[in-house]
Structure 1
Amino acid sequence: MKKIFKALAIAASLTTMMAGCSSKSSSSSESGKVTLSLYSTVTNEADQKTLTNVIQKFEKENPSIDIKYNYPADGYEGMLRVKMAANDMPDLFDTHGWAQKRYGNYTEDLSDMDWVKNLDPALDPILKDDKGKVYAYPLNQAKDGITYNKSLLEKYGIKPPTTFDDFMTALETIKKKSKGEVTPLWFAGSDKSAFGQYFDQFLTPLFVTKSNPDSEKQLLEGNINWSDYTFLPEKLKEMKDKGLLNEDVLTAQNQQMTELMAQNKIGFIIGGGMLGPSVEELNPKVKLGVIPMPVIHSGDDPVWIGGERHTLAVWKDSKHKKEAKKFIEYISQPDIVKEIAEGTALPAGLTNTDAKNYYSSDYETFKDVKVQPYFDRVYLPSGMWDVLGATGQELLSGKMSPKDVSKKVGEEFKRLKDQKK
Structure 2
Amino acid sequence: MLKKWKVSLALTLVSAIAISGCSQRPETPSTAPSSGKESSNSNSNSNSSTPKKTLSMMMNVADQPVQDMYRQIINDFTKENPDIAVNIQFPGSAYENNMKVKMAANDLPDIFDTHGWAQVRYGEYLADLREEPWVTQLTDTIKNVVTDKAGKVYALPISEAKDGIMYNVDMLKKYNVEPPQTFDELIAAAEKIKKESGGKTTPFFFSGIDESTIGTYFGYFANALLINTANNSAEDLLNNTFDWNKWTVLPEKLLDIKKRGLINEDFLTAKRSDLPGVFAEEKVAFVMLAPSFVDAVHKLKPDMKVGLMPIPAMSASDKPAFSGGERNTMGVWKDSKNIPEAKKLMAFFAKPENLSKISNITKLQPGLKGVASKHVLTEYYEKYASNRVLPYFDRVYLPNGMWSVMSKSGTELLSGRITSKEYSETMKREVQRLKKN
State the TM bucket, normalised to the shorter chain: 0.7 to 0.9
Alignment of 1:235-254 (within 5 A): 235-254=253-272
| One-letter identity of the residue aligned with 2:15 | I
The 1:265–1:245 alpha-carbon spacing in structure 2 relative to 1, beyond 3 Å, is same
Task: Check the 8 A contact 2:206/2:270 in 1, yes or no.
Answer: yes
Alignment of 1:11-160 (within 5 A): 11-14=16-19, 21=36, 32=51, 34-63=53-82, 64-73=84-93, 75-160=94-179
For the aligned residue pairs, the C-alpha RMSD in angstroms reads 3.0
How far is the alpha carbon of 1:9 from its aligned partner? Answer: 5.3
Long gaps (5+) in structure 1 = 1-5
How far is the alpha carbon of 1:128 from its aligned partner? Answer: 1.0
The 1:397–1:321 alpha-carbon spacing in structure 2 relative to 1, beyond 3 Å, is farther
How far is the alpha carbon of 1:68 from its aligned partner? Answer: 2.5
- Structure 1 residue corresponding to 2:224, chosen from 205, 208, 211: 205
Task: Check the 8 A contact 1:33/1:66 in 2, yes or no.
Answer: no
The 1:166–1:180 alpha-carbon spacing in structure 2 relative to 1, beyond 3 Å, is same
How far is the alpha carbon of 1:47 from its aligned partner? Answer: 3.8
Distance (Å, rounded) in 1 between the aligned partners of 2:427 and 2:168: 32
Alignment of 1:1-400 (within 5 A): 10-14=15-19, 21=36, 32=51, 34-63=53-82, 64-73=84-93, 75-212=94-231, 215-400=233-418
How far is the alpha carbon of 1:100 from its aligned partner? Answer: 0.4
How far is the alpha carbon of 1:15 from its aligned partner? Answer: 7.8
Larger mean Cα displacement after TM superposition, 123-132 or 273-282: 273-282
How far is the alpha carbon of 1:401 from its aligned partner? Answer: 1.9
The 1:41–1:401 alpha-carbon spacing in structure 2 relative to 1, beyond 3 Å, is farther
1:231-268 CA-to-partner distances (Å, cap 9, x unmatched) read: 21122223334332233424433433333333333211
1:31-78 CA-to-partner distances (Å, cap 9, x unmatched) read: 6565544333334455444434434443454454133221413x3323
Distance (Å, rounded) in 1 between the aligned partners of 2:306 and 2:126: 37
Distance (Å, rounded) in 2 between the aligned partners of 1:185 and 1:284: 22
How many residue pairs match? The answer is: 408
How far is the alpha carbon of 1:364 from its aligned partner? Answer: 2.2
The 1:407–1:197 alpha-carbon spacing in structure 2 relative to 1, beyond 3 Å, is same
TM-score (norm. length: structure 1): 0.87
Distance (Å, rounded) in 1 between the aligned partners of 2:268 and 2:106: 37
The 1:140–1:24 alpha-carbon spacing in structure 2 relative to 1, beyond 3 Å, is closer
Task: Check the 8 A contact 1:46/1:278 in 2, yes or no.
Answer: no
How far is the alpha carbon of 1:344 from its aligned partner? Answer: 1.2
Task: Check the 8 A contact 2:114/2:331 in 1, yes or no.
Answer: yes
How far is the alpha carbon of 1:402 from its aligned partner? Answer: 1.7
The 1:383–1:170 alpha-carbon spacing in structure 2 relative to 1, beyond 3 Å, is same
SS in 2 for 1:239: helix
The 1:61–1:227 alpha-carbon spacing in structure 2 relative to 1, beyond 3 Å, is same
How far is the alpha carbon of 1:99 from its aligned partner? Answer: 0.6
Task: Check the 8 A contact 1:222/1:379 in 2, yes or no.
Answer: no
SS in 2 for 1:109: coil
Distance (Å, rounded) in 1 between the aligned partners of 2:317 and 2:361: 37
The 1:59–1:380 alpha-carbon spacing in structure 2 relative to 1, beyond 3 Å, is same
1:369-403 CA-to-partner distances (Å, cap 9, x unmatched) read: 12222222222222222221121122223322222
SS in 1 for 2:282: coil
How far is the alpha carbon of 1:127 from its aligned partner? Answer: 0.6
- Structure 1 residue corresponding to 2:431, chosen from 390, 406, 413: 413
| One-letter identity of the residue aligned with 2:421 | K
| One-letter identity of the residue aligned with 1:67 | N
SS in 2 for 1:290: strand
Task: Check the 8 A contact 2:165/2:310 in 1, yes or no.
Answer: yes
How far is the alpha carbon of 1:324 from its aligned partner? Answer: 2.6
Task: Check the 8 A contact 1:136/1:314 in 2, yes or no.
Answer: yes
SS in 2 for 1:232: helix
How far is the alpha carbon of 1:414 from its aligned partner? Answer: 1.5
Distance (Å, rounded) in 1 between the aligned partners of 2:105 and 2:238: 32
How far is the alpha carbon of 1:356 from its aligned partner? Answer: 2.8
SS in 1 for 2:323: strand
Long gaps (5+) in structure 2 = 1-10, 23-34, 43-49
SS in 2 for 1:185: coil
Match of 1:3 in 2: none
Distance (Å, rounded) in 2 between the aligned partners of 1:71 and 1:234: 39
